Chains A and B, each alone.
Chain A
Amino acid sequence: MNQPKTPSRFRSRSDAKTPLTPSIVSQFNAVSLGSPQKRADISNPFLVRSRTASPVKRTTSAAVPQQTSSNAGVIRKGGVESRLDVVSHDYHPPRPELKRSRSTPSTRERSLSHSSAHPDRFITAREDAALPSSLSSGATAAAANASTSSPGHTARLANATGVPLNKRVLAYHEPPPASSSSNFLSAQRNIARPLYARDALPSSNGTTSTKSRRVPTTPERVLDAPGMVDDFYLNLISWSTLNVVGVALGESIYLWAADTGIVSHLGDAPDDTYVASLDFSGDGAYLGIGLGTGSIELWDVASSQKLRTMAPSSDATSAGQVASLSWFNHILTSGHSNGSIVHHDVRVPRHVVATLQGHTGEVCGLHWSPGGEVLASGGNDNVVNLWDGRGGDVGSNTRGAPKWTKRNHTAAVKALAFSPWSPLLASGGGTLHTYHTGAQVTGVHWSVDRKELVSTHGFPGNAIIGWAYPPLPSPSGSGSGTGSGTTGSRGTTPTPTPTPKLFEIRDAHDSRVLFSALSPNGEVLVTGAGDENLKFWRIWDSRDVKGKKKTVAKKEEGGARGILGIR
């Protein structure tokens, strides 16, 4: 279209003065403005096609005024305007256009598709999908008449494909520039973003699963646990190797057999105190119960009988409540609120074999390594201590010194877990963690057969979060190792990570998730919280792990589903 030397504005003017076009245009305008909505329901392609074919046969220009008038006549009937719009386009025979000056046809065509742009406006987005024939039939038919020798075919083809023939959709050849991206700025922007646009907090109970695995976000089972003490420093849940869950509710101990779903009342603490911690022995036959007075009771699980009561020393009350317990073989280790850790040999009358003083705050996390080499303790003084476990039998008045200490937690360290498959200790202290959890860490557990760990959290979120273990491709081994040093520890190195988070179950409980224990087969996590519920989460399902035995796998399935009262 380079040819017109006459300014185009004149052309547009002259175009408007041609006797034929304006009247048609005004008709179109009237039609399209009058019934924009009906245009969308035209869907009678047959009508369009048959009319399309007819003008091809009569190629005379003399037919034009007659057809126009007939169109006008039909339009007055109403209801079929849209079809008529199509038809009226078809009645512009190509011949008279050829006779005109070079500039006229183009402008004429413009005025035509200008008018045909009206239907386009209302169904722009549907162009391709829904009603191709209705949209472009008018335009395509006109174009077909003007340009090809077999317009009927082209029109039908265009109808079928929905491609407007006399229109081009153009885009600039280069994509728009990306917004300037400096890391600093984008970080700033993220801070300044409005709340609704921030990186999504998943909806309540939603999970953000980045990897292929999906973790059920609803608990497998919910047990009612009335009277569960809402205290961060206690440890009130334990899951034995015999697949029995022990729960302390106030002063009472209940056992829930995961195999059968049967609840039994083991016993009660003495009248003047409460249960502060409990832990099953390694074989699951005995239950150690730490009391608020500082005494420790030993119970036989099978017979529901108390075997003995152990006081840490003569001044038991000064030691404070037994907030944490951990077994290793015949050694039952207790952590007290005055910061002392006491080893008890449950076989002998003088049970106190060692006292370890390494904390200035209450010992709320206590964990033996699987082989018994190391005892890890975490306290309310934000310190993690590792003790050499071999010193346990030395003597009753031995004051051990921690082999290794980590002090850069910022809150009480309750969550401690040794990895079952490598010499690793995960420690979660209050708010700081290798993984940026953003919430108080109340518990941490390693997967038995995956390089993963799961942590439970308090406010905000009350979440259960799964993490991939090496948070970075290169394993971060901040080893400790002296003596039997099998323990590398990575409790507190704040590492900027891509996203090691595997899944997150938000709002797992209505209040902070305080207590947690992993089933012996490592598949199910039980959590307890101040909302007096016990919830069972099947987070590591061994079904999709190849080559793993499913020996203990489905034992819990026997229990009744749904909400059970534990009391």
Chain B
Amino acid sequence: MATSQAPTRQAITLKGSTNLVTEFFKYAANTILFQRGVYPSDDFHMVKKYGQTVLVTQDLALENYLDRILTQVNKWLLTGSVTQLVLAIISKDTRLPLERWVFDINLVEPPADSAEPPPPKPESEIQAEIRYILKQIVSTVTFLPIIDDPTVFNILAYTHESADVPADEWVDTDPLAIEASKSQQVKLRSFSTDVHRIEAMVAYRYEG
């Protein structure tokens, strides 16, 4: 069993990392929905997470909805078939995409030549990176355009063609892209676990 020790550790890391990433998406989505006013702010309550307070929805319907999505995302993460998650904020009336919060999911490839797997990244460091991203999401409010219209959101998953898709639950859709001439983009921080690397970005409609 000595030889299989390293893969086992890796395997645990993958599973753990997937859960970590999924959990991050949950809090990131909640933070965005709160900060961008997609749902009224009194739907949210404060939760201690990642060493800071995060606002999480207490609307049961929304909670379940996010859970169902993230469960599937979790499966995709395990098989590595999802490359990008997008939270699009759309105007409720015009259906115009106003903001796209893009999270690229990259698999971290260990260097091929080193037989020794690199030392696992300490959890505290990952949490700190996640904290920075969430704080950055909060701080984007300062420059993102004020949204006056009522909005809805939509979560898109970019997957491989070969991905295992529950047919009745997930459907192919429009990417809800913002026209290039009217779009501004800001790259946010990223975080990485031993297996995944998540890079965040926000693109928003700006017709200056």
Contact = CB atoms under 8 A, between A and B. Distances in A.
Interface residues of B, number: 66
A125 B43 CA distance: 30
Most A CB within 10 A of own CB, among B109, B155, B199: B109
A177 B65 contact: yes
B78 interface: yes
What secondary structure prevails in chain B residues at the interface with A? mixed
A177 B59 contact: yes
Given A16-B110, A117-B83, A176 B154 contact: yes
A167 B159 contact: yes
Interface in A195-244: 196-197, 200
30 contacts: A1-B162, A7-B11, A9-B15, A10-B11, A12-B14, A22-B109, A109-B162, A111-B107, A111-B109, A113-B83, A113-B160, A117-B83, A117-B106, A124-B102, A167-B160, A167-B161, A170-B165, A170-B172, A172-B69, A172-B72, A172-B170, A173-B171, A175-B154, A177-B59, A178-B152, A179-B59, A180-B59, A189-B42, A197-B37, A200-B148
Interface residues of A, number: 57
A431 B23 CA distance: 54
Interface stretch (A88-96, A127-135, A318-326, A552-560): A127-135
Nearest to B170: A170
A178 B59 CA distance: 10
Contacts of B107: 12, 110-111, 114
A168 B156 CA distance: 10
Contacts, number: 176
A12 B7 contact: no
Contacts of B15: 9
B203 interface: yes
List the 6 shortest-distance A-B pairs measured between CB atoms, nearest first. Answer: A130-B180, A177-B61, A126-B180, A171-B173, A125-B203, A125-B183
B37 A172 contact: no
Contact of A171 (B80, B112, B155, B179): B155
A8 B156 CA distance: 23
Contacts of A117: 83-84, 104, 106, 158
B7 A13 contact: yes
B27 interface: no
Contacts of A154: none
A437 interface: no
B40 interface: yes
B174 interface: yes
